[in-house]
Amino acid sequence: MRVIGIFSREEQASAAIDSLKNMGFDRKDMIVSDANKFFNEDRRDSAMIIDIETEREGLSEKDAFADFIADEGEYGIILSVEALKNKNDLIKEVMIQSGARKIIDD
């Protein structure tokens, strides 16, 4: 399962990442992206991938992630966390406490 949080500011997303790491979540299970750059440059073509930071070996999911962002039309810092379904509520709580303005179960 994946939980996606949309944050207005980079510091908020960083706080969520730090909290999740301190709770035992692995950074390699997180993808961070700045949709502000994508939309502010009027690049609505999902083939033009926005800044994505991940510690994974491959980015095979980046196209689907870019399509999701384009479909949602959301601006801000996007934090996607993959974890077991029973951890979703914990992830959402951390995102809320860190200032996420929107949270989506994917």
pLDDT in tens, the chain (106 residues): 899 999 998 899 999 999 999 999 999 899 888 776 554 555 444 433 344 555 554 444 444 555 555 555 557 888 999 999 999 999 999 999 999 998 988 7
Phi, psi of 54 (to 5 degrees): -155, 160
pTM of the shown model: 0.71
What are the start-end ranges of the E strands in 1-106?
A: 2-7, 30-34, 52-53, 77-82, 102-105
Asked whether 6 and 100 are in contact (CB, 8 A), the reply is: yes
Predicted pLDDT of residue 90: 97
